[in-house]
Chains A and B, each alone.
Chain A
Amino acid sequence: KAGVTQTPRYLIKTRGQQVTLSCSPISGHRSVSWYQQTPGQGLQFLFEYFSETQRNKGNFPGRFSGRQFSNSRSEMNVSTLELGDSALYLCASSLSAPRGRNIQYFGAGTRLSVL
Chain B
Amino acid sequence: GNSVTQMEGPVTLSEEAFLTINCTYTATGYPSLFWYVQYPGEGLQLLLKATKADDKGSNKGFEATYRKETTSFHLEKGSVQVSDSAVYFCALEEGSGGYQKVTFGTGTKLQVIP
Interface residues of A (CB under 8 A from B): 4, 33, 35, 37, 41-45, 55-56, 90, 92, 94, 96-100, 102-109
| 6 tightest Cβ-Cβ pairs between the two chains A and B | A42-B106, A106-B43, A100-B51, A100-B32, A102-B100, A106-B44
**Contact between A97 and B100, CB atoms less than 8 A apart:** yes
Q: A97-B100, A100-B93 are in contact. List 19 more A-B contacts (CB 8 A).
A: A33-B102, A35-B104, A42-B107, A43-B104, A43-B106, A43-B107, A44-B106, A98-B100, A99-B51, A99-B95, A99-B100, A100-B32, A100-B49, A102-B32, A104-B102, A106-B36, A108-B41, A108-B43, A109-B43
Residue numbers in A under 8 Å from B106 (CB-CB):
41-44
Cα separation A37 to B106 with both chains bound (whole Å): 9
On whether the beta carbons of B32 and A96 are closer than 8 Å, the reply is no
| Of A37, A90, A99, A109, the contact of B32 (CB 8 Å cutoff) | A99
Q: Which residues of B contact A90 (CB under 8 A)?
A: 43-44
Instruction: Establish whether residues B42 and A108, one from each chain, have CB atoms under 8 Å apart when the complex forms.
Output: yes
Do residues A56 and B101 form an inter-chain contact, with CB atoms below 8 A? yes
Query: Quick check: is B12 within 8 A (CB to CB) of the other chain?
Result: no
Q: How far apart sit A99 and B31, CA to CA, in the bound complex (Å)? A: 8
For residue B51, which residue of chain A has the nearest CB? A100
**Nearest CB in chain B: distance from A30 CB, A:** 12
Contact residues in B for A96 (Cβ distance below 8 Å) = 98-100
For the complex, is B45 an interface residue (Cβ under 8 Å from A)?
yes
User: How many pairs of residues, A versus B, come closer than 8 Å at their CB atoms?
Assistant: 61
Q: Which of A45, A56, A100, A107 has the most CB of B within 10 A?
A: A100
Q: How far is the CB of B106 from chain A (nearest CB, A)?
A: 3
| CA A106 to CA B102, docked complex, whole Å | 13
Contact of B46 among A42, A55, A99, A103 (CB under 8 A): A103
Known interface pairs A99-B32, A99-B93. Does A45 touch B104 (Cβ–Cβ under 8 Å)?
A: yes
Which of A90, A96, A103, A107 has the most chain B CB atoms closer than 10 A to its own CB?
A103
Pairwise interchain contact B36-A104, C-beta atoms closer than 8 A: yes
Q: Can you report 9 residue pairs joining A to B where beta carbons are below 8 Å apart? A: A37-B107, A42-B106, A43-B89, A56-B101, A90-B43, A98-B98, A99-B32, A100-B51, A104-B46
